[in-house]
Chain A
Amino acid sequence: GAGVSQTPSNKVTEKGKYVELRCDPISGHTALYWYRQSLGQGPEFLIYFQGTGAADDSGLPNDRFFAVRPEGSVSTLKIQRTERGDSAVYLCARGLAGRSEQFFGPGTRLTVL
């Protein structure tokens, strides 16, 4: 693969529930990105981590969305009080500081019923 694993691959939940999506990149890539891809659309940026800190969270749609990367490797995207409109594929990408190329994981397909 692209050196990024994401779990779970599929998540079905009910409206109002809390979900966590995990991204595990290979070591040595300090930059980590989350994107959301709705059906028939290109990915849309959510948040960028450089090391442990969120350097740019301007793409998070509202305060129900939050992401962490406490040790600078694995990241978790957390969605509270899920809504049907949150249904999408959530993609994680790794990158190197100062480089433009981003390498994507397979994504987590989230379905909110």
Chain B
Amino acid sequence: GQQLNQSPQSMFIQEGEDVSMNCTSSSIFNTWLWYKQDPGEGPVLLIALYKAGELTSNGRLTAQFGITRKDSFLNISASIPSDVGIYFCAGQTASSNTGKLIFGQGTTLQVKP
């Protein structure tokens, strides 16, 4: 099925560093969501974005809805060990009227203390 292109696939960083990841699509999206998934758990919603250009923060996390409506970015500032996990972008296309989400392949984040 259709998936978003998410990059990078994985990151290994030092504690305290900032992190950036992004998601792109060939289709226009009405909504972008960012989730974090820990092993053996379901994805947990971090941030939801609804308008092109929107910039939203949740603690040390900041996400942006791209102006073209075909991309989104997530930044994590001053990373800590508990940020370890898999981050997924997800979106709803402009043509969808059922709310189903299309997910990226995920970015695996590892933080070295």
Contact = CB atoms under 8 A, between A and B. Distances in A.
Interface of A: 2, 4, 31, 33, 35, 40-45, 48, 55-56, 59, 91, 93, 95, 100-107
A106 B92 contact: no
Contact of B44 (A40, A59, A104): A104
Interface residues of B, number: 28
Given A43-B103, A45-B102, A55-B98, A100 B92 contact: yes
Q: Which 10 A-B pairs have the closest CB atoms?
A: A42-B103, A104-B42, A56-B98, A100-B31, A45-B100, A48-B98, A104-B43, A106-B42, A43-B103, A42-B88
Given A40-B106, A45-B102, 13 more contacts: A2-B42, A4-B42, A33-B100, A41-B106, A42-B3, A44-B103, A45-B100, A48-B100, A91-B43, A102-B45, A102-B101, A104-B44, A106-B40
A105 B6 CA distance: 23
A60 to B, nearest CB: 11
B88 A59 contact: no
A29 to B, nearest CB: 12
Contacts of A33: 99-101
Give the dominant DSSP class at A's interface: strand
